[in-house]
């Protein structure tokens, strides 16, 4: 459900004040869609960022959002009271001086125009698998090991990978020409052993941040939020600034994807009785729920490692781990969003295709703007 809050990547640019910048017709990040439409791929995450926004965008990995905004002339008050609350909603973290790129993505998420999918955003994944006619093996990958393919005449003796996975039937596996890892390595989320790689696949520090999402059907305690008169309470979203005493990061009314005109409930419109989504770092205690709500009849929570824990300077892990072994999630260290994952996935699909077919002219090209002008 956090993906509901994910912004489309119309990343605001912070380089405007005092730094020279080429005038580009649209936000730099949107260029990726043109490059990918023309089948260009990048063999590293930094290379992808550099092609989009030059060195300034790569530097955003190393700069905190605070520093980037200060350089751009924003006041500390704006940073503390607008940017930090947005970071706390979108990435559950505000106090760690998150790097500029996730900060920018958070800010994009504060604007309107976000989309939800009726039935749940998870339908995007099942829909894509269906459309791709993919054969899905439900299981957990345990290890990957390179194997040498027996040489046949006229064919290069390339590599293969043996992938071992645990399914309901037990430990099993198969060999593949090409492997794409689309899960965050280096933590409990994807604990894959790389066996017999020479040189070994390095491990990437990849700390993840725990967020607890609690859904409560109830009536908010307006006096807890400083409203003595419940009828004057009309807030649908509550953001918070950084404060170690706060036990919540944000609180927002969950609205249905579809508005049903014939199902209007006047009571719901005039009182804070609704389904509320509360983000916090820890599970909410009964005492905390009793402070937030005057009454409630249903509480559901999900505790999860929702996104990277950011701490600049950040470095993106490689896209290419071995000849035909690719890794998508490195780009999450730049910023985590469903749309960025889709960008990373398309990049790897293009990269793997071009490398397989030896189309080197479509990989890591400089001056793509100029190239596209002459191609068009």
Report the interface residues with ligand NAG, using CB under 6 A: 58-59, 62, 188, 191, 193, 221, 223-224, 290-291, 294, 313, 315
| Closest distance to ligand NAG from the beta carbon of 306 (Å) | 17
| Closest distance to ligand NAG from the beta carbon of 311 (Å) | 11
| Closest distance to ligand NAG from the beta carbon of 141 (Å) | 11
Question: Shortest CA distance to 335 belongs to which of 32, 11, 71, 2?
Answer: 11
Tell me whether residue 135 or residue 298 sits nearer to ligand NAG (CB atom).
298
| Closest distance to ligand NAG from the beta carbon of 313 (Å) | 3
Cis status of the peptide bond prior to 119, with omega within 30 of 0: no
As a residue count, the chain comes to 376
Tell me whether residue 253 or residue 291 sits nearer to ligand NAG (CB atom).
291
**249: number of Cβ within 10 Å:** 24
| Closest distance to ligand NAG from the beta carbon of 70 (Å) | 18
Tell me whether residue 52 or residue 86 sits nearer to ligand NAG (CB atom).
52
| Closest distance to ligand NAG from the beta carbon of 25 (Å) | 26
b/e for 74-90, b at 16 or more Cβ within 10 A?
beeeebeebbbbbbbbb
SS3 100: helix
- Tell me the C-alpha distance between 317 and 144, whole Å: 18
Tell me whether residue 222 or residue 336 sits nearer to ligand NAG (CB atom).
222
- Tell me the C-alpha distance between 315 and 299, whole Å: 39
Tell me whether residue 141 or residue 212 sits nearer to ligand NAG (CB atom).
141
| Closest distance to ligand NAG from the beta carbon of 58 (Å) | 5
Q: How many helices (H) and strands (E) does the chain have?
A: 11, 12
Tell me whether residue 62 or residue 241 sits nearer to ligand NAG (CB atom).
62
Tell me whether residue 30 or residue 289 sits nearer to ligand NAG (CB atom).
289
- Tell me the C-alpha distance between 169 and 167, whole Å: 5
- Tell me the C-alpha distance between 151 and 330, whole Å: 33
- Tell me the C-alpha distance between 98 and 111, whole Å: 20
């Amino acid at each position: 459900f956090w993906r509901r809050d994910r912004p489309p990547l119309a990343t605001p640019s912070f380089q405007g004040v005092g730094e020279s910048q080429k005038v580009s017709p649209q936000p730099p990040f949107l260029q990726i869609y043109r490059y990918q439409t023309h089948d260009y791929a990048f063999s590293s995450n930094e290379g992808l960022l550099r092609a989009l926004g030059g060195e300034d965008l790569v530097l955003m990995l190393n700069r905190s959002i605070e520093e980037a905004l200060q350089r751009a002339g924003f006041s500390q008050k704006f940073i503390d009271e607008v940017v930090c609350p947005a970071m706390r909603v979108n990435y559950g973290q505000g106090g760690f001086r998150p790097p500029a790129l996730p900060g920018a993505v958070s800010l994009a998420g504060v604007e309107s125009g976000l989309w939800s999918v009726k039935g749940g955003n998870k339908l995007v994944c099942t829909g894509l698998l269906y459309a791709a006619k993919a054969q899905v093996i439900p299981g957990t990958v345990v290890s990957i090991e390179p194997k040498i393919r027996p040489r046949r005449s006229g064919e290069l003796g390339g590599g293969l990978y043996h992938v071992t996975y645990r399914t309901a039937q037990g430990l099993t596996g198969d060999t593949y020409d090409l492997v794409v890892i689309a899960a965050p390595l280096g933590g409990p989320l994807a604990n894959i052993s790389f066996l017999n790689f020479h040189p070994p696949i390095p491990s990437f520090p990849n700390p993840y941040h725990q967020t607890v999402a609690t859904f409560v059907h109830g009536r908010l305690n307006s006096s807890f939020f400083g409203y003595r008169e419940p009828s004057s309470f009309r807030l649908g979203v509550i953001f918070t600034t950084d404060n170690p005493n706060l036990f919540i990061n944000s609180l927002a009314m969950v609205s249905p994807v579809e508005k049903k005109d014939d199902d209007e409930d006047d009571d719901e419109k005039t009182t804070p009785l609704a389904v509320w989504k509360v983000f916090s770092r820890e599970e909410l205690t009964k005492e905390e729920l009793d402070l937030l709500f005057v009454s409630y009849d249903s509480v559901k929570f999900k505790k999860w490692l929702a996104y990277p824990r950011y701490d600049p300077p950040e470095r993106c892990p490689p896209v290419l781990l071995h000849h035909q072994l690719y890794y998508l999630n490195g780009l999450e260290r730049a910023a985590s969003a469903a749309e960025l994952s889709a960008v990373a996935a398309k990049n790897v699909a293009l990269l793997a295709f071009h490398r397989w077919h030896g189309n080197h002219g479509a990989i890591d090209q400089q001056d793509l703007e100029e190239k596209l002008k002459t191609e068009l």
